[in-house]
Chains A and B, each alone.
Chain A
Amino acid sequence: MFWAEHAWILPAIPAIAFLVLFAFGRFLPRGGDFISVGAALTVFILFFFVLESHLDSIAAGLGGIANAGTDWVNFDKFIVRLGFTVDSIAIVMVFVVSTVALMVNLYSTGYLRHHGKPEPRYWWYFAVLSLFVAAMLTLVLADNLLLMFVAWEGVGLCSFLLIGFYYERRSAVEAAKKAFVTTRLGDVGLFIGLILFWRATGSFQISDIIAAAEAGRVNDLPQVMGDGYLTLSTLLVFLGAAGKSAQVPFHVWLPDAMEGPTPVSALIHAATMVVAGVYLVARMLPVFEVAPGASNVVLGVGLTTALLAGIMALGQNDIKRVLAYSTVSQLGFMFVALGVGAVGVAMFHLLTHAFFKACLFLGSGSIIHMTEEQDARRLGGLWWRMPVTATTFIVSSIALAGIPPLSGFFSKDEIFTATLGGANTAVVILLGVAAFLSALYMARLVIITFFGPPKVLAVIRRAREADPIILIPLVFLTVLTFLVGFFAFDQVGRAFGFPGGINSYIYFPEPETFHFHNDIAAVTGTVSLLGFGTAWWFFWGRNSRRAEALRAFQPRLAAIVENKFYFDEAYQWAIDRAVLPLARIVAWFDRMIVNDTGINAPADATRYAAYWLRYHVTGRIPDYALLMVVGVALAGGLAFLLRGG
C-alpha cells in the first residue's frame, strides 16, 4: 500500500520542477525543458506503482481506497486537511493526467521551436506546464473540497497564463481574460456551495459531506441538511463544474481558449482541466443522487450542451475550433452519463475521449506547426504530404465518431445503454442525434483538411511531415485510442487486474458487468456510419456544391449555426445593455454614497486624526516620560474604579 498512501509524491514532483524552473529556468540550457519532461516521466512511471498497490489492495479485499495526509490548518473548529485519497475514480484521472502530460511535454519540446530555435519565454512555458501538472494532480487526489478548490483555482491560473502565452497578440490576451472571467463565475458558485456544505456539516471532507447528505435519505441517521439547502448547495457546486467543463451557457470560453499554444489545448482544454468538472460531479455523485432534482439538472445541461455544441462545430472552419466545440459536446455526453447515475460510464468516456482528443489536437498542432495555417478551407490534400499525421488524425476521428472497434465506440455505446436504463426515450433519441452530429462534423473536418485538391499552393508547399519528437506522441496516443476501449471487457480488465471491466471497477451504487448489446451496438454503429455517409454526400470533392446549395437554400439558418447561435453576441449585448448601465448606476452610488461619504469620510477622518496625532511625538525626552507617567496614572485611577481597590 506504500504508493497508494503516498500518492502525494505525484503532485510534489512537478511542483518541485516548477520551483526549480521558476527560479533558474532562464539560466538553464534548453530553458530547463528536460526538468519538466523528467518530472512528467517520473510521474508517469510512479503512476504504475500507485496503480499496482491500488489493485493489490482491491485483490486483497481491502477496497482499494487509500487515505493519507496531515492537518493543514487545525485550529479550534477550523480544520482543513492536506489529505490525499486514491480510489478508482482518482486512478483513472491520474492515468489520464500523467499520460497526456508526458506526451504533451515531449511534443512541446518540438512544437515550441522554429527551425531549431526555441520561442521566446520557452522556459516560462515549461515552468507553467509543470505547475499545471502539479495543480491538476492535487485536484484529482484531494480528499476535501477546500484543497480541491485551491488546486481548482491553480489549474485555472495556469490555463489563464498559457492561453495568454502569446501575449503580444491581442486576441490571446482577450481569450485568456474571457476564459478566466467565465470560469470564475462558476467558481464563485462552487466556493459558496462548499462553504454552505461546511456550514451544515462542519467539515470539508468529501466523505463527510456525502455521509451528511445521505443521512436521513438512504440511511437511518437524522437529517443534517434540508432538501432545499442540499439542492441549493449541490447546484452551486455544479455551477463550478459547468464553468470549468464549458457547459452551456458557460461554453463560450473554450473555443476562444484555442489562442494558446496547441499542446496546451491538448493537455488543458481537451484531456485534463476541462474534465475537472466531470470529475468533481463524479466524486460527489452520491450527493447529486440524493439532492432532489440535481441529477436532472446535470442531465439536462449535458444533453443541451452535447446537441448545441455538435451543431456549432458544423459551422466552424478553424481546425482547432471544430475540435474545441467537439470537446464541449463530448463533455456534454459525460454529464448525461452522470445525470443517469452511471459514474463508471462517464469516467470511461472521459478516459477514451482524453486520448483521442489529445491525439486530434496534437495532430492539428502538427499541421499548424508545419503549414502555419489553421483554416481548414485553405488546407486540403494534406494526406500525401503528412501521412503519419493524417493517419493518426483519421483514426482518432473515427474513434470520436464511434465506429467499432475503436475506443469511442465502446464508451458511447455504454452511455447509450446507461441512458436507456435511466432516462426516457426522448433523451436517448436526442443523444442519438448528438452522436450523429459528432460523426458528421469530424468527417467533414477530415475531408476538407486531408482530401481533395490543395486549395492554397503556398500552404501545401510548406506541408511536410514534422519531427519525430512530434510524431511519437501522436502514434503513442493512437495506440492508446485502440486499446483503452477494450477496458470495458471483463477479460481485458482481468488481465490488467480489474476483473469485470471498467464498469465493475468504478461503480455507483453497484457494480455492473459490460454486456455487449448487439441491437444497441448496431444502432449506434449505424448512426455513426450514417454521419460519415452524410458528410461524404455533402463535402467529398465536388459534392461540396450540395453543402453550398443547402446554405443558399436556408441562409438564415446557416448564419445562425456559423455564428454559434449568437451566444457571444447575446452576452456582449447583455453586458452592454444590462450589466454596464447597472454598473454605471452602482458606480455612481459607489462614488457618491459609498466612496465619498462611506469610505472617504472615515478615511479623511483617519488621516486628519493621524495628522494631529503626529504632534504628540515632539522629540523631547521629558514629554515622552510625561506621557508614560500619565499612562500609568490613568491606569492606576482606572484600576481603583474598575477593580474596586
Chain B
Amino acid sequence: MDLEYQLIVPEFVLATLATLVVAGALIFRGRVRQEFWGYATAGALLILAILTAVFYWDTNDDFANVLAVDHFTVLFRVFFLGIAFFTVLAAIQFAGDRLKNHGEFYGLILFATLGMMLLGAARELLTAYLALELLSFSFYILVGFNKLNPFSNEGSLKYMLLGAFSSALMLYGISLIYGVTGSTTYSAIDPDGSGIRSIAGQLANFTGVGGDSSLPDPDAVRPGLLIGLILITAGLGFKVSAVPFHQWTPDAYQGAPLPITAFLSAGGKAAAFAFFLRLYSEAFLPVAAEWAWFVAILAAVTMITGNLMALQQTNLKRLMAYSSISQVGYLLVGIVALNAETIGQSQDAAAALVLHLIGYVATNIAVFTAIIAFYNRTGRDDIVDVRGLAERQPFLAFVLAAGLFSLAGMPLFAGFATKFIVFQVAFSNGFLWLGAIGVTASFVSLYYYLMVIKQMYLYEPEGTDRARFRVPRPMALAIALLVAGVFFLGLYPTPLFDVINESTAGLFQQAIETSASAVR
C-alpha cells in the first residue's frame, strides 16, 4: 500500500519539535535562559499553524483510511496549534516564576497538541483511541507538573485514575460496537467501490437504508448497539466533562498550574469535541435516534448542574471549571441537533457547534490569560482577590469583564452570536425544551459572572498590595488579540461561519452518498 506521508507532515514536525524541546533543554541545561524554550516553542507553533493553513487548506484526502486530511482536519489543526500558541505565550512568565524543567513542560504541551491534531483527524477507532490516550497522558503529567504542591498531585491523581476508568468504559463500548458492525472504520468514503466495511455502512442496516446485508439480524444485536453507544458516549462525556462524568474537572482545574488549566479547558475540550463530532456524524449518524435522547439528557443535566455548582464557588479556577462544564452543556446541544430530519439540518448543527466551540475557546483563553497575568503578580486566585482590579489594572479588568460577559452570552460578544446560532439550530430541529433550558441556564450564569465583575469594578482594592502593576508586552498583545477576536466574532461571525460550513460539510459525505444510493 502506498502511504502518502506528505499528508501528515505537520504531525511529524510537531512530534520532532516536541522531542527537540525536551532533549534541547536537557542538553543545554544552564546554558540557555529558560524563557528561550517558551519563546522558541511559541514561535515554532505560530509558523507551523500558518504553514499548515497555507499548504493544506485545499487538501481533501485520506491517509491509509485511518486519518482524514480534509477541511475539517485542517481547520482543527490550525485551531489546536493556535490554542497551543496562546497557551505557551501565557505560560512563559508563570513557568519562569513557579515551575522547573521547562523543556519537559513545553514538550508535553506539544505532545498534547499532537494528540489533539491526530484525534481531530482520526477516522478509525484504534487511531482515535491512541490519539486520545496520547492527549490524556500528556495532560495527566501536566496537571501534576507542580510536583511539590499537594493540590497539584491530588488533582492529577484523580484525573488519571478516573481517566483510565472512563477509557475502560469507552473501550468496552468500542468492543461492543465492533461486535455489532465488524469494523472500526467510521465510514467508507466510497461505500460501493472500495469494499471496506465501515461502521456507518453497517449501521445503515438498522434504518433499512442501504448497507451490507451480511450482518446478523439487527434486532438480535440491538442491545449490544445501545449499550455500546451509551458507553462510548459516557467515555466521551468524561473527556468533555459532561455531568455526571464531570467531577474530576473542578479538582483537576484547581490543582493544575494555571496555564495548564487554560490549556485543558480550551484544547482538551476542543479536541474531545472534534472527536465527538466526527465520530457521531461520520459513523453514528444512521442511528442518530438511538443516542440523541441520551446526549440530550446529558446536555440538559450538564447545563443545569454546571451553572448551579458555579453559583457556590469562591475560587476563580473552580468557578471557571464549572463555567466550562455549563458551556459543555450548550455545546452538547449542537451534538443533539445532529439528529435532524434532513442532512442539511445536521450540517447546520455541526457548523453551529464548531462556531460556538471556537468562540468559547477564544473567550476562555482570553479570560485565563488575564487570570494568569493577575496571578503572576499576586499569587492568589480567589474571587475576592480580584477586588478593585479595575483600579489596579484597568486593562485586565476590562478583558475579564468582556470575557465573562461573552461566556454569559451578552450581545456584542462572541458568546451571544454563537450561542444564538446553536439554540436556533436546536429550535429548528425540534429540541425546543433543550433550547429553553439553555436560555434559562444562561440567565443563571450571568449571576456568577457578574459576581466577579462586581468585585473588580465596584470595590476598592484591599490588603497590603494595592499598587498598579504592568502586564508583560507579549501577554498583553496576546490578550488584546483574543479580545479583538471575541468582539469580531460577536459582531460579524459570517466569514468564520462560512469557513466552518465548508469544513463540516465533508463529515456528511457518507450520509449524503448513502441516502443518494438508497433513492437509486
* Residue positions of A touching B, CB distance < 8 A: 70-76, 78, 82, 606-607, 609-611, 613-614, 616-617, 619, 621, 623-625, 627-628, 630-632, 635-636, 638-640, 642-643, 645
Distance between Cα atoms of A166 and B223 in the complex (Å): 74
Instruction: Write out the residue numbers on chain B whose beta carbons fall within 8 Å of the beta carbon of A624.
Output: 158, 162, 247-248
Distance between Cα atoms of A640 and B452 in the complex (Å): 45
Most chain-B CB neighbours within 10 Å: which of A73, A607, A617, A627? A617
Minimum CB–CB distance for B264 against chain A, Å: 17
With both beta carbons as reference points, the residue of chain B lying nearest to A611 in the complex is identified as B312
Interface residue? B493 (CB, 8 A):
yes
Instruction: Write out the residue numbers on chain A whose beta carbons fall within 8 Å of the beta carbon of B245.
Output: 627-628, 631
Tell me whether A76 and B424 are in contact in the complex, defined as CB-CB below 8 angstroms, given that A614-B312, A628-B234, A630-B244 are known contacts: yes
Q: List 18 A-B contacts (CB under 8 A).
A: A73-B494, A75-B421, A76-B424, A76-B428, A607-B311, A613-B309, A616-B247, A617-B247, A617-B251, A625-B162, A627-B247, A628-B169, A628-B245, A631-B244, A635-B294, A638-B293, A638-B294, A640-B223
Interface residue? B222 (CB, 8 A):
yes
**Stretch touching chain A among B20-28, B62-70, B96-104, B224-232:** B224-232
Interface residue? B161 (CB, 8 A):
yes
Minimum CB–CB distance for A217 against chain B, Å: 34
Size of chain B's interface in residues, with CB distance under 8 A?
43
Instruction: Write out the residue numbers on chain B whose beta carbons fall within 8 Å of the beta carbon of A72.
Output: 492, 494
Instruction: Write out the residue numbers on chain A whose beta carbons fall within 8 Å of the beta carbon of B230.
Output: 632, 635-636, 639
Tell me whether A643 and B494 are in contact in the complex, defined as CB-CB below 8 angstroms, given that A610-B311, A621-B162, A628-B245 are known contacts: no
Instruction: Write out the residue numbers on chain B whose beta carbons fall within 8 Å of the beta carbon of A625.
Output: 161-162, 165
Interface residue? B406 (CB, 8 A):
no
Tell me whether A636 and B161 are in contact in the complex, defined as CB-CB below 8 angstroms, given that A76-B424, A624-B247, A628-B238 are known contacts: no
Minimum CB–CB distance for A70 against chain B, Å: 7
Instruction: Write out the residue numbers on chain B whose beta carbons fall within 8 Å of the beta carbon of A606.
Output: 308, 311, 444
Most chain-A CB neighbours within 10 Å: which of B165, B222, B244? B244
Task: Select which of B244, B417, B424 is within 8 A of A627 by beta carbon.
Answer: B244
Distance between Cα atoms of A630 and B301 in the complex (Å): 14
Chain B, range 181-226, C-beta contacts under 8 Å to A:
222-223, 226
With both beta carbons as reference points, the residue of chain A lying nearest to B425 in the complex is identified as A76
Distance between Cα atoms of A85 and B248 in the complex (Å): 55
SS class of chain B's interface: helix, strand, loop or mixed?
helix
Minimum CB–CB distance for B455 against chain A, Å: 18
- The answer on a CB contact under 8 Å between A628 and B166 is yes
SS class of chain A's interface: helix, strand, loop or mixed?
helix
Known pairs A70-B494, A606-B308, A631-B237. 13 more at Cβ < 8 A? A72-B492, A73-B493, A613-B305, A613-B308, A616-B247, A617-B251, A625-B161, A630-B244, A632-B169, A635-B233, A635-B294, A639-B230, A643-B290
Minimum CB–CB distance for A354 against chain B, Å: 31
Instruction: Write out the residue numbers on chain B whose beta carbons fall within 8 Å of the beta carbon of A638.
Output: 293-294, 297
Instruction: Write out the residue numbers on chain A whose beta carbons fall within 8 Å of the beta carbon of B259.
Output: none
- The answer on a CB contact under 8 Å between B494 and A645 is no
Distance between Cα atoms of A74 and B355 in the complex (Å): 14
Minimum CB–CB distance for A591 against chain B, Å: 19
* Residue positions of B touching A, CB distance < 8 A: 157-158, 161-162, 165-166, 169, 222-223, 226-227, 230-231, 233-234, 237-238, 244-245, 247-248, 250-251, 289-290, 293-294, 297, 305, 308-309, 311-312, 348, 417, 421, 424, 428, 444, 492-494, 497
Minimum CB–CB distance for A79 against chain B, Å: 10
- The answer on a CB contact under 8 Å between A645 and B222 is yes
Distance between Cα atoms of A309 and B248 in the complex (Å): 70
Instruction: Write out the residue numbers on chain A whose beta carbons fall within 8 Å of the beta carbon of B248.
Output: 624
Most chain-A CB neighbours within 10 Å: which of B294, B309, B428, B493? B294
Minimum CB–CB distance for B383 against chain A, Å: 15
Instruction: Write out the residue numbers on chain B whose beta carbons fall within 8 Å of the beta carbon of A627.
Output: 244-245, 247
Instruction: Write out the residue numbers on chain B whose beta carbons fall within 8 Å of the beta carbon of A78.
Output: 424
Distance between Cα atoms of A617 and B417 in the complex (Å): 33
Task: Select which of A613, A621, A628, A631 is within 8 A of B158 by beta carbon.
Answer: A621
Minimum CB–CB distance for A470 against chain B, Å: 35
Instruction: Write out the residue numbers on chain B whose beta carbons fall within 8 Å of the beta carbon of A619.
Output: 251
Distance between Cα atoms of A640 and B225 in the complex (Å): 11
Distance between Cα atoms of A73 and B421 in the complex (Å): 10
- The answer on a CB contact under 8 Å between B250 and A632 is no
Minimum CB–CB distance for B409 against chain A, Å: 16
Most chain-B CB neighbours within 10 Å: which of A72, A611, A639? A639
Most chain-B CB neighbours within 10 Å: which of A71, A73, A628? A628
Task: Select which of A74, A609, A613, A614 is within 8 A of B494 by beta carbon.
Answer: A74
Most chain-A CB neighbours within 10 Å: which of B247, B428, B444, B497? B247
Distance between Cα atoms of A73 and B294 in the complex (Å): 32
Minimum CB–CB distance for A334 against chain B, Å: 33
Minimum CB–CB distance for A73 against chain B, Å: 7
Distance between Cα atoms of A622 and B286 in the complex (Å): 36
With both beta carbons as reference points, the residue of chain A lying nearest to B293 in the complex is identified as A642
With both beta carbons as reference points, the residue of chain B lying nearest to A73 in the complex is identified as B494
Minimum CB–CB distance for A639 against chain B, Å: 5
Distance between Cα atoms of A609 and B304 in the complex (Å): 11
With both beta carbons as reference points, the residue of chain B lying nearest to A614 in the complex is identified as B312
Instruction: Write out the residue numbers on chain A whose beta carbons fall within 8 Å of the beta carbon of B289.
Output: 643
- The answer on a CB contact under 8 Å between B226 and A643 is yes
Tell me whether A632 and B226 are in contact in the complex, defined as CB-CB below 8 angstroms, given that A72-B494, A609-B308, A624-B248 are known contacts: no
With both beta carbons as reference points, the residue of chain B lying nearest to A618 in the complex is identified as B247
Instruction: Write out the residue numbers on chain B whose beta carbons fall within 8 Å of the beta carbon of A71.
Output: 494
Distance between Cα atoms of A135 and B244 in the complex (Å): 49
Instruction: Write out the residue numbers on chain A whose beta carbons fall within 8 Å of the beta carbon of B297.
Output: 635, 638
With both beta carbons as reference points, the residue of chain A lying nearest to B242 in the complex is identified as A631
- The answer on a CB contact under 8 Å between B311 and A617 is no
Minimum CB–CB distance for B334 against chain A, Å: 14
- The answer on a CB contact under 8 Å between B312 and A639 is no
Task: Select which of A611, A623, A632 is within 8 A of B231 by beta carbon.
Answer: A632
With both beta carbons as reference points, the residue of chain B lying nearest to A613 in the complex is identified as B308
Task: Select which of B294, B421, B424, B494 is within 8 A of A639 by beta carbon.
Answer: B294
The 8 closest A-B pairs by CB, nearest first: A631-B244, A610-B308, A624-B247, A610-B311, A639-B226, A627-B244, A635-B230, A645-B223
- The answer on a CB contact under 8 Å between B226 and A645 is yes
Instruction: Write out the residue numbers on chain A whose beta carbons fall within 8 Å of the beta carbon of B234.
Output: 628, 631-632, 635
Instruction: Write out the residue numbers on chain B whose beta carbons fall within 8 Å of the beta carbon of A632.
Output: 169, 230-231, 234
Distance between Cα atoms of A623 and B311 in the complex (Å): 22
Minimum CB–CB distance for B405 against chain A, Å: 18
Instruction: Write out the residue numbers on chain A whose beta carbons fall within 8 Å of the beta carbon of B162.
Output: 621, 624-625, 628
Instruction: Write out the residue numbers on chain B whose beta carbons fall within 8 Å of the beta carbon of A617.
Output: 247, 250-251, 309
Distance between Cα atoms of A54 and B87 in the complex (Å): 50
Instruction: Write out the residue numbers on chain B whose beta carbons fall within 8 Å of the beta carbon of A639.
Output: 226-227, 230, 294
